[in-house]
């Protein structure tokens, strides 16, 4: 990795914003992208990474392919279609996850949960919200049985 430049600082800022918008933990981003926490940390500091790493990160952050390149060229990332609400005027998946994270934070404080317990509760809540969101998504004519959590 090479020292940071301005476009990569902008990329780091957009990544931080997206992680917050999706209400993800850094460990979850690393898991989704199949990258190390060290690699994510370097990218978050504005250091350059391999193209394949950026592709993995785009998938993990639910951006369309080419979003990292767009940011590095001064543009904006393109979120995948998952942010569309289940029903017209209904909350988006991102909004639901943000609300759940705020509620969970209050619950963790009230119940004095350990970080490990809190992570497990968040994982389960997130999976349930995502599964519910998928089950209420418009039917595209494809069989989504394998996409649902069990």
Query: Per-residue pLDDT tens for 3-58?
Result: 555 899 999 999 999 999 899 999 999 999 999 999 999 999 999 999 999 999 99
> What pLDDT does residue 2 have?
53
CA 57-86-100 angle, to 5 degrees, is 65
Higher pLDDT, 135 or 21: 21
Does residue 141 surpass a pLDDT of 60? no
- State the DSSP H helix or E strand holding residue 49, giving kind and residue range, or none if neither: none
Higher pLDDT, 73 or 4: 73
Q: Residue 31: how many CA atoms within 13 Å on its side-chain side? A: 6
The closest alpha carbon to 13, from 74, 65, 59, 62, belongs to 74
Q: How far apart are CA 144 and CA 138, in angstroms?
A: 11
DSSP string computed for 79-139: B-GGGS-SSTTPPPHHHHHHHHHHHHHHHHHHHT--HHHHHHHHHHHHHHHHHHHHHTSPP
């Amino acid at each position: 990795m090479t020292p940071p430049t301005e476009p990569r600082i902008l990329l780091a800022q957009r990544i931080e914003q997206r992680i917050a918008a999706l209400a993800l933990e850094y460990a979850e981003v690393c898991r989704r992208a199949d990258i190390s926490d060290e690699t994510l940390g370097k990218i978050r500091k504005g250091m350059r990474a391999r193209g394949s790493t950026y592709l993995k990160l785009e998938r993990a952050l639910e951006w369309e392919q080419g979003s990292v390149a767009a940011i590095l060229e001064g543009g904006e990332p393109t979120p995948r279609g998952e942010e569309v609400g289940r029903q017209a005027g209904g909350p988006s998946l991102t909004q639901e996850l943000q609300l759940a994270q705020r509620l969970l934070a209050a619950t963790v404080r009230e119940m004095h949960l350990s970080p490990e317990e809190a992570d497990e509760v968040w994982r389960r809540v997130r999976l349930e919200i995502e599964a519910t969101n998928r089950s209420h998504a418009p039917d595209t004519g494809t069989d989504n049985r394998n996409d649902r959590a069990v």
